[in-house]
Structure 1
Amino acid sequence: MTARSLVTANRLALLVPAALLAGALGSQYIGGLYPCEMCHWQRWPHYAAILVAAVAFATQGGTRRVLVLLAALLIAVSGGIGVFHAGVEYGWWPGITTCTSTVRPTGSPEDMLAQIMNAPMIRCDVAQWTFAGISLAGFNAIMSLIGASVVALLALKR
């Protein structure tokens, strides 16, 4: 492995999940698209990949390579979840979760009922937004799997 390709892989292992999370959080907080349960599942491996990639910057040699490869694996896991979620949205297979809500169990029973009545119900099997027939879960799958492949190839480059 060349030191330069490992540094590039490390940078991408940090930037790819950060960019995908920025898009997800932007679509949520700016675009008003509430995430379903499986959307949240796709985010957790990206959070972990960012942490692992950040730690990798403080290491050298073989340890850094292992951490960058672990970050690539975590990015790929998010992509795999995205493939599953997109398949549920497209009706290729059934999902394994119920619909989710943004309601938090706080306050009086009347407050909770008001939250329930005003909360958007987000179904995991219906895409809220698509572009060229690809949902956000589909885009996460594509970008995560490509990004993870590039990171891994650069980290393994001799």
Structure 2
Amino acid sequence: MLASTYDASTAPAYRTGAAVLLFALAIILTALGFEYIGGYTPCPLCLQQRYAYYAGNPLLFLALVSLGADKKGLSVLLFALVGLAFLANAGLGTYHAGAEWGFWPGPETCAAAPQKLSLSAKDLLAPSTSMGVVRCDQAAWRFLGISFAGYNVLISLLIAYGCAVATRQIRGSI
């Protein structure tokens, strides 16, 4: 039988961390829903912005498990790493949103290369190498003037803040 090591001093950090984990899970599931159900094809920068969620969600879960096992130092480290990952993700989202607004150019990998128009039967029947390129400098969707990338900046900052709060709550109980 497993022994429970409940520590009332870490309960606020556990609740904060659990809320951050559930929020981050909801966000990545929403992004996948927009892609697979809504039909929005993500650009390369959009896909890169998902890495923080793919790495952060399991690390947040491990932080909660370690907190429950009274491994406060490990929990602090994991929450801090996830917070830093989401700060970096906010930076990537800012870069992406800025490219969408034309403040700076996006990466070359996100732009469709100019194509020479050819009407020969051979060229028309050949598969295009540029098909499927989704441009990073054109927002696929906006709500209240903010694109997916812009919302990701706000959400990533909120997740990073939640991780900082959980870290502070743990450190206050050490």
| Shorter-chain TM band | 0.7 to 0.9
Alignment RMSD: 2.2
Number of the residue aligned with 1:140: 152
Q: Could you tell me which runs of 5 or more consecutive residues in structure 2 were left unpaired when the two chains were aligned.
A: 1-8, 113-125
Number of the residue aligned with 2:122: none
Distance across 1 between alignment mates of 2:30 and 2:36: 10
Number of the residue aligned with 1:107: none
Aligned-residue sequence identity (percent) comes to 34
Number of the residue aligned with 2:25: 18
Q: Could you tell me which runs of 5 or more consecutive residues in structure 1 were left unpaired when the two chains were aligned.
A: 102-112
CA contact (8 A) 1:37 1:99 kept: yes
Alignment deviations for residues 26-64 of structure 1 (CA, whole Å, 9 cap, x no partner): 110011110000001100111110121122233121111
CA contact (8 A) 1:13 1:71 kept: no
- 1:115 Cα offset (Å): 7.4
2:107 to 84, 93, 96: 96
TM-score with structure 2 setting the length: 0.74
- Aligned counterparts, 1:118-129, within 5 A: 119-129=131-141
Distance across 1 between alignment mates of 2:108 and 2:158: 27
Task: Name which of structure 1's ranges 87-96 and 31-40 shifts more when overlaid on structure 2.
Answer: 87-96
- 1:149 Cα offset (Å): 0.8
Alignment deviations for residues 122-148 of structure 1 (CA, whole Å, 9 cap, x no partner): 100000000011000000111110221
Alignment deviations for residues 10-41 of structure 1 (CA, whole Å, 9 cap, x no partner): 21342232122112111100111100000011
Structure ID, larger Rg: 2
1:33 to 40, 45, 54: 40
Aligned length: 146
